Amino acid sequence: MAASDKTLDDLFVDMLKDVYSAEKQILAALGKMTKMPDSEKLALAFDTHRAETEGQIERLEQIFASVGKPPQGKTCAAMQGILQEANEMAEEFKGSDALDAGIIASAQAIEHYEITRYGTLKSWALELGMQDAARLLERNLQEEKKTDQLLTKMAEERINARAA
Ligand code: FE
Ligand code: FE
Ligand code: FE
């Protein structure tokens, strides 16, 4: 297909593949991130979000099915980069007081990437008249936003605990 023949439907499926790849990478990363932080609360939050991520991947698979495509990722290079930075930071700050601050920052970078992708995909789904897909994407979007807010709260608690 010539590039000029591509449509918004094609772009939607391309971005669906991007976020599917990102979620698969995140699922693997969260398994490791659960073991990293000093804070038990933070470890528990990652474990909860790992379970949510499994559900998000299933919703994406439902959307692939609804457009008649096999669920397939298209390597998300952005998430590879975010996770590479996260790993480097965790290595460099292992055993230090600043480790959890760095882990929270890495986790928020992940959530913000997901939020931008789901926001875009949801609006394109609505534009394309795909109400069911839009509803599923909105559920993923809300879980990412909720996780981001929880991370902000934990970052603030950490700062307050240090100040006390
Ligand atoms: Fe996610
Ligand atoms: Fe991407
Ligand atoms: Fe997430």
Q: What is the residue extent of each domain of the chain?
A: 7-163
Is the separation of the CB atoms in 13 and 60 below 8 Å?
A: no
**Average pLDDT for residues 107-117, to the nearest whole number?**
98
Calculate how far, in angstroms, residue 140's C-alpha sits from the geometric centre of ligand 1.
7
The domain covering 7-163 belongs, at the CATH homologous superfamily level, to Ferritin, core subunit, four-helix bundle (1.20.1260.10)
Q: If you measure from the C-alpha of residue 78 to the centroid of ligand 2, how many angstroms do you get, rounded to a whole number?
A: 5
pTM for this predicted structure: 0.95
Task: State yes or no: pLDDT of 41 exceeds 90.
Answer: yes
How would residue 1 be classed by pLDDT, with cut points 50, 70 and 90? Answer: low
Half-sphere exposure of 158 (CA within 13 A, CB side): 21
* pLDDT for the residue 2: 75
What pLDDT, in 10s, does the model give residues 123-152?
999 999 999 999 999 999 999 999 999 999
